[in-house]
A and B are shown apart, each in its own frame.
Chain A
């Protein structure tokens, strides 16, 4: 938990430093080209733009964490904080859908192909997953769009509203990671079923079902959790592309438009928020790990 704070601070520092090099001061951008120089200087001083680098950074962080103030968008003139947090739930929902789909498909198929190694049940999913992993999400999304909304007319291709709007984004985002989850589950499972205790369980006369699902699966799933957590970070990034493709008003589209319009407060606020969310998820994954694995739990208990 204590590690989370320096990570978020460090990440925001990196993003702040990279965006610091952009020329142009907020005063003249907000007030427009016709403004008086005196007014521009006054607004810049008000926003703290004339302060040295580190003071500006600490001011930004202080405002963000204690006043929930991420500055004002250049384009819409609205507070960045409310814009970002109004759009965050949609992005998180899409990312969660994707990871849910990836786990739901990847883990069972991965276990199956490990158990039936060298048979067709192993080779076909592995080949498909290798292929899917080299497809970008936007291409999968476009192919889905072509068939399901333009040809068949089953699903809407743009915007949000009913559950139907979220089906294609889920597939587009989830499929490449389902493939990755599959490969990882498979190799983790293959390693586990060669362990001595699995052989012992078999020798004891445990049924094959029992051996796979109770003895092997529980141990093989541990590294799978880590991959799922890691993937979540990539999925948050992937949501940027998926949202743009399907015209979903999420945080991703906000950031991309911010980059295009040079709306720095939006870009900075949006990316720092997503990076913070990612760090929190990684922390939760670590906690889940300790919760699931009695060995790690025991180590923590003995430390205290």
Chain B
């Protein structure tokens, strides 16, 4: 909130209320963002308490008698081609998909943020070299880059997380770098430097906290992109290893039974859209709430 402090009127507002409260007040006004937040909160709770809702064994236990069962009291979401309970598979799929989405987004935030802030603050030759390298990574279409890494490492949760992280880093580096460059020129940084503060301390205590807003938005938006990307990889048969449930893998399995049991596609499909849509609108809302100046 560095720039607004120059404005005397805004200063009063900041002294009365903490920044977090102020952001929350603005976010509350955005109904769509609140909807997104609620849905995500519920999905996160489902993911955390997945084992309490329905044990993992129910998600992988085959039962040929209930093969392709329609939704009923015993199996709310029906059963898949191996007679596995779809509710259990969706619940545990939520856990896997959200785990991939959040952990990968945070991993790319940490790596990209670290690289971007150093590059932006130091500038010069290092900046030039690293940014050209990032440009090269961006010249490869995302899913192809992810496929290359999966080809090298093999499928499985950890490997697709690594693959997706590689594709997400350039975006984070760019966002952090540009906001760090903007902040590094400001007077309070000059003051810190004049006061003899060590460079790492300036970077992590003074520059980065002020560059947080675009980072939070980028991280939120990325969760949505990552969930879709992971689902696409699973759909291609290169994501999580069976019989582990994941939204994309569940949809891929449902493809074979599209004619006879379309409900198998419907439930994981709806969850996937709901999660991705919610993260998107939440990101939009956060952007407006964190930085009202950007609001159009």
A contact residues vs B (CB 8 Å cutoff)? 7, 10-11, 14-15, 18-19, 21-22, 130-131, 133-139, 142-143, 145-146, 150, 187, 190, 233-234, 236-238, 240-241, 244-245, 255-256, 258-260, 262, 264, 267, 271, 274-275, 278-279, 282
Contacts and interface: CB of A to CB of B under 8 A. Distances in A.
B167 to A, nearest CB: 10
Contact of B144 (A137, A237, A244): A237
Contacts of A11: 136, 139-140
Interface string B115-151: 0000000000000000001011101111110011111
Interface stretch (B198-206, B251-259, B285-293): B251-259
A130 B276 CA distance: 11
B258 A275 contact: no
A180 to B, nearest CB: 12
Nearest to A275: B140
Contacts of B237: 256, 260
B152 A245 contact: no
A233 B141 contact: yes
A271 B140 contact: yes
A227 to B, nearest CB: 15
A264 B280 CA distance: 36
Contacts of A15: 140, 148
Contacts of A244: 235-236
Given A18-B149, A259-B151, A237 B255 contact: no
B272 A139 contact: yes
Main secondary structure of the interface of B (DSSP, over half): helix
A136 B232 contact: yes
B7 to A, nearest CB: 24
Contacts of A134: 224, 228, 273, 276-277, 280
A67 B69 CA distance: 57
A240 B258 contact: no
A260 B150 CA distance: 10
B147 A271 contact: yes
Contacts of B144: 236-237, 240, 255, 271, 274-275
Most buried by A among B139, B248, B280: B139
29 contacts: A10-B133, A10-B136, A18-B152, A19-B148, A22-B152, A130-B280, A134-B273, A134-B277, A138-B235, A139-B251, A142-B251, A142-B255, A143-B265, A143-B269, A145-B258, A146-B262, A146-B265, A234-B142, A240-B236, A241-B236, A244-B235, A244-B236, A245-B235, A256-B147, A259-B150, A260-B238, A271-B140, A278-B140, A278-B141
A271 B228 CA distance: 21
A204 B3 CA distance: 40
B164 interface: no
A136 to B, nearest CB: 5
B18 interface: no
A14 B143 contact: no
Interface in B201-257: 224, 228, 231-232, 235-238, 248, 251, 254-255
Nearest to B284: A130
Given A21-B152, A136-B232, 10 more contacts: A146-B262, A150-B259, A190-B296, A240-B147, A244-B235, A256-B147, A259-B147, A259-B150, A271-B147, A279-B139
